[in-house]
Amino acid sequence: MAIVRSGNLLAKFLLELAAIASLAYWGGTVGSGAISVVVAIAAPLAACVLWARFAAPRASHRLPVRVRVPFELGVFALAALALVAAGATTAAIVFAVAALVNAAVLTSLDQWES
């Protein structure tokens, strides 16, 4: 069971990284030239700052679980929508399903506090 629990937390971390990458990818498709570069840097940076401030396990202002869970799922939903907007619909579906499965396992194993 310890392997499943550790694997699920690893999956959540990988989803966090994929969300950041998805926002950067989307940003690269917005506009052209300097605008796309700025958005490709600003969107994932904003997500990282918010995540580090409110959702990271060692965040100084970590939200309570009842607020943090919707926040985290909202970030994942925005990343999936960013993929759709960038034209990567299949990737968006795979990402969204993985995030939902991960959330279900986090809930069943009572890992939201981890």
Confidence of residue 40 (pLDDT cuts 50, 70, 90): very high
Q: What is the DSSP string of 43-88?
A: HHHHHHHHHHHHTSTT-TTPPPHHHHHHHHHHHHHHHHHHHHHTT-
pLDDT in tens, 54-98: 999 999 899 999 999 999 999 999 999 999 999 999 999 999 999
What is the Cα gyration radius of the chain?
A: 15
Predicted pLDDT of residue 103: 97
CA distances from 20 to 4, 47, 91 (A): 24, 7, 14
